[in-house]
Amino acid sequence: MKVTSSALRKTESDRLTLDIERWLSGDSSVNLAPDMYIGDLDDYRWTKGHSSHNYYVKRDEQATFNIVKNNLHINVDNIFDMGVGGKQAVRDVGLSLAKIVCAKNYFGFDLATILAENAAEQALSEGLNAAPVICDIFEKLPFKKQNTLIALLGLTLGNIETYDNPKDVQNRFRDIFTHYANSVIFPDYKPRPPNKRNHLLISYDANRNIQEVKNCYLNQEFGNLVRSCIDKAIDTNNFDFDVVLRETPEVLFLATGLRSKRDQIINFNDKEFAVEKDQFLPVLNSSRFSIPFMTEAAIQAGWVPANIWSATGRVQYQHFVID
């Protein structure tokens, strides 16, 4: 059974149209990262344009799964795989983790219908009960389950909207973690034995070598990836944009996007948008947060810190629990 959030805008194309309009209007808080994967048959935009799978998953998350297996002793009925990605990511991350925590039921969450459905099909082939869940993973989830591990791994957590100050960023995470807490706590709440607790496992970029991070993004392949999101609606080759990185350490973001090379008028959806020279239009964020920063956001949402580690120093992992 496929689950679709009623909070989604009418269609995926409608979502992209609305986001592009906001983006062209200069709204720096718009987040185009989810739109990047809409219609992606197998995460090819990411795997062809970025080295993250080998850079992070092969080194960090495989080491992390050994920690989960040998030290955390998580045993749950359900796993929520948040932002599933393509087949390789599902196999190496979501399903690998599901086996370690002995989950019987796999729910693949993604805004891209085909990615969520492919993830559920893979889980079914591995003998799990499975269902695709089509929703924005940063908003209210469409159903509740107890005895659940919510896993948001990779760098997905950093792809929230851009904000003007760190407190707004932290409040956004508090709201996201509150949505997750509400998805595992029922109105008839009763304390449960430790082996029936609910768990939240998150990861985010911990690499402080900014130049190394920039080198991952400043290449032709990733530039094409950034443009591919916009090109679904507007042929950016008809306009004068450079793909650039904008570092804003005061709000914890390294944003990748397009910078206008001149004043220009763009016609889109029967509207005219004036884009000024040097105007920056963000597409994707790479974010670095501190442990206290993320811990405080989770505590405010009701989660209890349980474990902290980094297998290689490139990715930070945090494990929280809630009864």
Could you tell me what percent of the chain has a pLDDT over 70?
Answer: 83
Looking at per-residue pLDDT, the higher value among 126 and 257 belongs to: 126
pLDDT of residue 48: 55
Assess if residue 144 is contained within a domain: yes
pLDDT of residue 3: 75
Counting other chains too, the contacts that 165-172 makes at CB distance below 8 Å and 24 or more residues apart are 165/250, 165/251, 166/250, 166/251, 166/252, 166/293, 169/251, 169/252, 169/289, 170/293, 170/296, 170/297, 171/297
pLDDT digits (tens, 9 = 90+) for 62-79: 777 777 877 888 899 999
Assess if residue 220 is contained within a domain: no
- How big is the CA angle at 282 (ends 173 and 21), to the nearest 5 degrees? 100
Assess if residue 142 is contained within a domain: yes
Among the residue ranges 15-29, 55-69, 105-119, 132-146, the one predicted with the least confidence is 55-69
Q: How far is CA 7 from CA 45, 74, 110, 141, in A?
A: 26, 31, 13, 9
pLDDT of residue 76: 94
pLDDT digits (tens, 9 = 90+) for 9-57: 556 667 788 888 988 888 877 777 777 666 555 555 555 555 555 555 5
> Does the structure show a pLDDT above 60 at 125?
yes
pLDDT of residue 148: 96
* CA gap 104, 166 in Å, rounded: 39
Domain, as residue range, for 116? 3-209+288-322
- Tell me the one-letter amino acid at 307: N
CATH number of the domain enclosing 28: 3.40.50.150
State whether the Cα torsion 243-239-20-11 is positive or negative: negative
Number of domain units in the chain? 1
pLDDT digits (tens, 9 = 90+) for 160-193: 887 778 888 899 999 999 999 999 987 665 666 5
pLDDT of residue 246: 80
Assess if residue 62 is contained within a domain: yes
Assess if residue 233 is contained within a domain: no
pLDDT of residue 204: 85
* CA gap 173, 285 in Å, rounded: 15
Q: What mean pLDDT comes out for the span 272-293? A: 85
> In the structure, what pLDDT confidence band is assigned to residue 272 with cuts at 50, 70 and 90?
very high
* CA gap 277, 298 in Å, rounded: 40
pLDDT of residue 252: 67
Q: How far is CA 143 from CA 102, 128, 182, in A?
A: 21, 19, 9
pLDDT of residue 63: 72
Q: How far is CA 183 from CA 31, 93, 112, 133, 137, in A?
A: 24, 22, 21, 13, 12
pLDDT digits (tens, 9 = 90+) for 288-314: 788 899 999 999 999 999 999 887 777
pLDDT of residue 183: 95
pLDDT digits (tens, 9 = 90+) for 205-215: 777 777 777 77
pLDDT of residue 47: 54
Assess if residue 260 is contained within a domain: no
Assess if residue 296 is contained within a domain: yes
Q: What mean pLDDT comes out for the span 144-172? A: 86
List the structure tokens of 93.
């991350």
> In the structure, what pLDDT confidence band is assigned to residue 145 with cuts at 50, 70 and 90?
very high
Task: Specify the residue for token string 């990185």.
Answer: 245
Mean pLDDT of the chain: 82
| CA contacts within 13 A on the Cβ side of 161 | 18
Would residue 73 be called left, alpha or beta, if left means φ above 0 and alpha means ψ between -120 and 50 degrees? Answer: left
Assess if residue 167 is contained within a domain: yes
**What's the gap between Cα 252 and its chain centre?**
16
